[in-house]
A and B are shown apart, each in its own frame.
Chain A
Amino acid sequence: MNDSIFVHDHPTTPPALPTDIPAECLRQAPLNLPNAAELDVLRHYTRLSQKNFAIDTQFYPLGSCTMKYNPRIAHAMASLPGFARLHPDTPAPAMQGLLQVLWELQEWLAAATGMAAVSLTPAAGAQGELAGVAMIRAYHQSRGDHGRNKMLIPTAAHGTNPASAQMAGFEVIEIPNLADGDLDMAALDAHLGPDVAGIMLTNPSTLGVFERRIAEIAQHVHAAGGLLYYDGANLNAILGRVQPGQMGFDVMHLNLHKTFATPHGGGGPGAGAVAVQARLQPFLPLPTVHKEGPGTLRWLSELDVPQSIGRLSAHGGNIGVLLRAHAYMRRLGRAGVRRVSAYAALNANYLLKELQRVGYQAAFPQRRASHEFILSVSDLHKATGIRALDVAKRLLDFGIHAPTIYFPQLVPECLLIEPTETESKATLDRFVAVMAQIRQEALEQPELLREAPHHLPVGRLDEALAARRLDVAALS
């Protein structure tokens, strides 16, 4: 049943319009939104929710998304009226509770990453990346070094990296990865020079393996006058165990909606806090929270941080998301934070071994899995024409969300699998059993995969028709 909210409409009488607003400013055609009974609205959206896969109902091994449990206490705390009712223009003395929470989160994220200072304001990873590369640019310009207009980015990087660099006015130069997953040092060295502002990396990389030559890369880039940017999307692999600041990175962003368990919400909101070494601190985006003493916390402004790269949103960022991340870190504490990467690695390596045992091919069989790993089903493709997409769709029939597919683009017919630390051994074992069955189906009954999913409200959708027809709104 797929009814639309528009069928629940009842006629109403619109109120008389205000007399102290000139007629030419007022709405001409009356607003046409449906007026539905409250129970009908409740049922409509409740039933819609039941068509979704979610962490709360299904195992969701989406590589590089870190689909870990979103603790309910975090939502409850962020929703407390004392936080929820706060207007952003409330003067600092009347919001010391919130400022204390944000200040603590700044301190803890700095400690976890081995960096000197943090700004919590970017609204998502991509905005954090934009802030990060903008800070790199500001740093070079503050030193009179105006020719550094290139940013180096691995070919396997997440698409937001080149998009953010381009948005910040940089020219993007791609550096390839080698077959074993590490960065091509020769290509890196060939491109380093006085026109390079820096490099954007993640470690472990998007290929799911640790970049073993990171110290060397940092040394080469710094020697050429460039800075290193760390994309924190894969921080779950090393949280509490390795600090990006210690690896030689100068600036980074964190994805609080991945590593710090804030909800994915069907596509956000996220938060992309940035952390920097001391030399980039003057450029942090505003506002940040400053503690003068207990009970005297305040927002810093342009007067305090004149070299800041500026503001990325109207207020302090996604405060509600920051509240949730704070609650999560406070709950875990020092030992709990360290356990995140430990059990993320345990679950990933266990799954990697088990899936290989039932016949799947790892992209990097000699390497340890980080918090995620890549399988390639090229062998199935050669045998019966089955593609990674078909395996993904068939998994849905078993009530398991598909892993990330076709990213990174370097590995053909790949599945990027990240279980996260919050999944039990029983869930993982069931996943292995299902994957074994799908493998067998792929070889013996491939049409079961090609026509999957069979058991969901819809089957594979005609995406070409969607783009050609472009029916994107039920117009009045």
Chain B
Amino acid sequence: MPYIPHDPEETAAMLAAIGVESIDDLFDEIPSRLQAQDLDLPEGLSEMALRRELEDRAMANSSLRCFAGGGAYAHHIPALVWDIAARGEFYSAYTPYQPEASQGTLQVLYEYQSFITRLTALEISNASLYDGASGLAEACLMALRIRGSDQSILVPENLLPSWRRVLDSVLGLQNIRLISVPYDTTTGLLQLPEDANAAALIVPQINAFGLLEPVDALTDWAHARGLLSIAVVNPLSLAILKAPGDWGQQGADIAVGEGQPLGIPLTGGGPYFGFLACRKAHARQLPGRLVAKTVDGQGREGYCLTLQAREQHIRRGKATSNICTNQGLMVTAATIHMATLGSQGLQEAAMTCHARASRLRALLEALPGITFPYAGAFFHEWVVRLPKDAVFVRDTLLKQGLLAGIPLSEWGEGASGDLLVCTTELLEESDLLTYREAMRSMLEAQ
């Protein structure tokens, strides 16, 4: 019996101690008509057979050289990271509610919080949310709580569409108004109105097209009109891009983003994690867990969860969020990843991602019929406009083992030939040349 350790003698002894004849007797409080007899499930497999079946399934997914980004990125993860993160002591530990028995996890979370505050140049980070998109929803709710009155948020139309849909789904439940902010179709950058009444402005850096926004001006615009600014950022990019805490005159108020680039494998879409950082003044509106350093009765340094009174298990209906389980294991891996790379490794990775993007763009510029709709500065992703349907091009290149990018038409955006292309440090010069040649043949064919 897989994972059940009892032998028949033990079972009999236990039933005798309880004073019943059989295990079925233990369910005698449940009406028998509710007790199902046979479920429509297949028979179980031995571990050997299970492995064989799932290895087949894994192989049935194409192995592709990845040029797709759009919020999820193929990065190199040092072997060290998951070797440690998957240790049983991290993998099978629970939420650190008994701090004396969880100093490992708690110190990792404190270090994680410290790394995020340094990346974002803000004072407080929580211990994670489910992912970047739901984290942004939480940041909006937080901004609404801080502002108190105005129940609306300014949402850029050049924020990733999947993130906008999450905001619609989550914030729509509380009748919060999402005011769309358009982008200039020639530059791809945000076009702000003269004035606005809202609790906050969301500022993505980079935006959905890979473009760099003038974040100082955007942040100052928000503050001048009494809005909070919520920065949406890629954590790896912060190794070389300006930190949200330094945007504009006063810095962004809240920074969120998708933590997947920090040591989390793509795995078809999750589990990832959302990070959220803010000013110390807003600590009590922060959703999710928070770890603090303290001392025990003998003056020894230790760590514990803090400000738990904000959370659902105490505040219940008035909690800052309903979040309970978050993404502990992913954050553990991300912390080890950041420690393994250090600022040096993160900077080099970010630089290489960008250098590859600049290089590939230059290679493609020479191909006939190819244009680039947006001329502005980008970071590691850009949109190319092909003279053929981008979905058709993407699907054709799949057969050559390339995931060529994300067609914007799948987002309902842009022209039919628009393709969002991303490069990371995993790609070598030879991969870029292969891409160019594949694209050249594609365009030359009828």
Contact = CB atoms under 8 A, between A and B. Distances in A.
Contacts, number: 651
Given A84-B266, A314-B163, A266 B406 contact: no
Which interface class (under 10, 10 to 19, 20 to 34, 35 or more) fits B?
Answer: 35 or more
A312 B166 contact: yes
A466 B43 contact: no
B314 A159 contact: yes
Nearest to B105: A266
Contacts of B346: 31, 33
Interface in A40-66: 41-42, 44-46, 48-57, 60, 62, 65
A101 B57 contact: yes
B377 to A, nearest CB: 5
Nearest to B20: A349
A114 to B, nearest CB: 7
Contacts of A424: 5-6, 10
Contact of A69 (B3, B133, B306, B326): B3
B4 A421 contact: yes
Contacts of B342: 12, 33-36
A321 B109 CA distance: 21
B66, B110, B292: which has the most chain A beta carbons within 10 Å?
B292
B84 A333 contact: no
A269 B5 CA distance: 27
A462 B295 contact: yes
Contact of A321 (B23, B271, B326): B271
B6 A124 contact: no
B383 to A, nearest CB: 15
B14 interface: yes
Given A87-B72, A469-B294, A473-B113, A166 B318 contact: yes
A53 B102 contact: yes
A22 B63 contact: no
A268 B101 contact: no
B332 A82 contact: no
A327 B54 contact: yes
A458 B292 contact: no
A190 interface: no
Nearest to B42: A333
A184 to B, nearest CB: 19
A28 B247 CA distance: 10
A112 B36 CA distance: 10
Contacts of A393: 98, 100
B94 A65 contact: yes
A178 interface: no
B166 A88 contact: no
Contacts of A191: none
Interface stretch (B120-128, B177-185, B188-196, B435-443): B120-128
A83 B89 CA distance: 24
B398 A159 contact: no
A370 to B, nearest CB: 9
A124 B74 contact: no
Interface stretch (A221-229, A339-347, A374-382): A339-347
A38 B342 CA distance: 10
Given A73-B51, A91-B398, A312-B134, A124 B326 contact: yes
4 closest A-B pairs by beta carbon, nearest first, are A333-B44, A265-B329, A56-B88, A82-B58
Given A18-B354, A331-B2, A462-B294, 10 more contacts: A70-B92, A82-B58, A84-B265, A85-B266, A88-B268, A163-B316, A163-B322, A265-B92, A422-B4, A476-B118
25 contacts: A22-B377, A52-B102, A54-B89, A65-B94, A75-B91, A77-B58, A87-B266, A91-B398, A94-B64, A97-B58, A124-B323, A124-B326, A134-B169, A165-B317, A265-B93, A266-B90, A266-B109, A267-B327, A269-B328, A311-B162, A319-B271, A331-B2, A345-B27, A401-B101, A458-B300
